[in-house]
């Protein structure tokens, strides 16, 4: 019966939303074919951490709309089958939740509780507001999906179709960082005060940051995504036990998925809460810690491209940076690998590499951290900002960068190469 209803809902649908991240329905591409879906656009938040398939199918006229990038999606972009939307999270949420945006929404849900309510489980970021405006919701009811707190739930009776789906959630173990990640993380940890509210992403560098924060106390977590590193930080005693760990998504191992079911400790909330300017700016000592690909001598920051290739998306970075800047005693901390690995471009450059995608403008740059030190560029003149950034570049690159800055400075102000010495003195950052 559920299969027949699924066929009826999908056969004429033109706009379909599918849950992804750790809430991905692994065999959904095959189910879509079986249900007769064709000539439709499939939209989702496909994470490179855990989602390894593209739902595009040229023969059936199925294309994909994505806000994040994975390798399979990049391959299908080259074939013209993927529409890429590199938007900040708050904008994505508003777009997804527009009334009538989707004909059908398909998502993995927890089994209904005693009141007949299903939880969005480990992916609560966009789903609460999206589901409120959906025409038809198809729920894949998975007993492996934890029922989490912090967001509005959906009534089981409101589902247009409910499909039993007893499949383990995908697991992503954490990876240890390399020597450069450890060095950057140590520099960052020294900037974060006890009692701060911390936002940190996932991946190798953020993992090391959380490890280096283990000696802190009374930290609060308010972030977009957590992985198993949050469990290590919890066991270290660094976190404020009176404040819930706030996140929108959880991607990790079964240990993490079991932990987020503790409704007293974790709150999985909508982007409306996690990425809201008022909530971030209103938090005392909000520390937004994010890694990027490149920073230039003007203080411009790219979290999206380097070496002529788009490698990532803005995600929640612009939202967290903006809010942290206005938080009482808040800080925006940008981590970047200054020295490029073999065959790769350096993270400190005269100007952002083509295609010159700037995720955060120079006016919003604050603390920039590399393996060589920390540059506090907020409130510095243009020359002092350049000098501060050069001071945390690889030592062997600093003379070259200073010469390039002199040439750039001359072109920027009248086309004449500057021969005057650059300003020194107070306000300059020094390597650690």
State the pLDDT at residue 427: 42
State the pLDDT at residue 432: 44
Among 106-115, 214-223, 319-328, 411-420, whose mean pLDDT is lowest?
Answer: 411-420
Q: Identify the CA nearest to 56 among candidates 106, 85, 16.
A: 16
Q: 186 CB contacts (<8 Å, ≥6 apart)?
A: 212
| Tokens encoding 126 | 């966009």
Among left, alpha and beta (phi > 0; psi -120 to 50; other), residue 315 is left
State the pLDDT at residue 356: 93
- As a CATH number, domain 179-412 is 3.40.1080.20
Share of the chain above pLDDT 70, in %: 94
Report the CATH fold assignment for 2-164: Glutaconate Coenzyme A-transferase (3.40.1080)
With contact defined as beta carbons under 8 Å apart, do 341 and 178 qualify? no
Largest CA distance in the chain: 80
Inform me whether the pLDDT recorded for 60 exceeds 90: yes
List the domain boundaries for the chain: 2-164, 179-412
State the pLDDT at residue 174: 85
Instruction: Examine domains 2-164 and 179-412 and report if their fold is the same.
Output: yes
Condensed to tens digits (0 to 9), the pLDDT of residues 76-129 reads 999 999 999 999 999 999 999 999 999 999 999 999 999 999 999 999 999 988
Determine whether 21 is exposed, middle or buried from the number of CB atoms within 10 Å of its CB (0-12, 13-18, 19+): buried
Q: Identify the CA nearest to 105 among candidates 94, 120, 85.
A: 120
More confident residue, 203 or 109: 109
State the pLDDT at residue 421: 54
């Amino acid at each position: 019966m559920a299969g027949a209803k699924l066929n009826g809902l999908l056969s004429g649908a033109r706009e379909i939303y599918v849950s992804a991240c750790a809430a991905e329905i692994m065999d959904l591409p095959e189910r879509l074919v079986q249900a007769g879906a064709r000539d439709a656009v499939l939209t989702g938040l496909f994470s490179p951490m855990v989602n390894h398939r593209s739902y595009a199918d040229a023969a059936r006229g199925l294309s994909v709309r994505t806000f994040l990038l994975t390798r399979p999606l990049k391959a299908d972009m080259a074939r013209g089958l993927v529409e890429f939307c590199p938007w900040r999270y708050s904008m994505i949420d508003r777009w997804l939740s527009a009334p009538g945006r989707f004909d059908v929404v398909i998502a993995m849900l927890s089994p209904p509780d005693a009141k007949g309510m299903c939880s969005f489980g480990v992916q609560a970021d966009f789903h609460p507001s999206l589901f409120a405006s959906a025409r038809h919701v198809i729920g894949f009811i998975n007993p492996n999906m934890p029922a989490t707190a912090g967001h509005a739930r959906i009534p089981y009776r409101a589902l247009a179709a409910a499909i039993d789906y007893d499949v383990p959630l995908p697991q992503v173990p954490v990876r240890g960082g390399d020597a450069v990640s450890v060095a950057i993380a140590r520099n960052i940890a020294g900037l974060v005060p006890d009692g701060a509210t911390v936002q940190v992403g996932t991946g190798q560098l953020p993992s090391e940051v959380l490890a280096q924060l283990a000696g802190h106390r009374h930290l609060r977590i308010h972030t977009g995504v957590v992985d198993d590193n949050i469990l290590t930080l919890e066991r270290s005693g660094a976190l404020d036990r009176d404040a819930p760990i706030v996140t929108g998504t959880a991607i990790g191992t079964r240990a993490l998925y079991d932990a987020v079911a503790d409704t007293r400790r974790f709150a999985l909330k909508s982007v409306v809460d996690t990425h809201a300017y008022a909530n971030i700016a209103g938090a005392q000592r909000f520390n937004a810690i994010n890694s990027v690909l490149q920073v230039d001598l003007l203080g411009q920051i790219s979290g999206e491209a380097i070496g002529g290739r788009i490698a990532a998306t803005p995600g929640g970075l612009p939202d967290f940076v903006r809010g942290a800047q206005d938080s009482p005693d808040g800080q925006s901390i940008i981590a970047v690998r200054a020295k490029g690995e073999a065959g790769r471009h350096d993270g400190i450059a005269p100007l952002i590499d083509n295609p010159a995608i700037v995720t955060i403008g120079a006016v919003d740059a604050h603390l920039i951290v590399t393996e060589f030190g920390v540059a506090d560029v907020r409130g510095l003149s243009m020359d002092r900002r350049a000098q501060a950034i050069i001071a945390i570049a690889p030592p062997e690159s600093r003379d070259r960068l200073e010469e390039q800055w002199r040439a750039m400075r001359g072109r920027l102000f009248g086309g004449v190469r500057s021969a005057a010495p650059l300003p020194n003195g107070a306000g300059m950052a020094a390597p650690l």
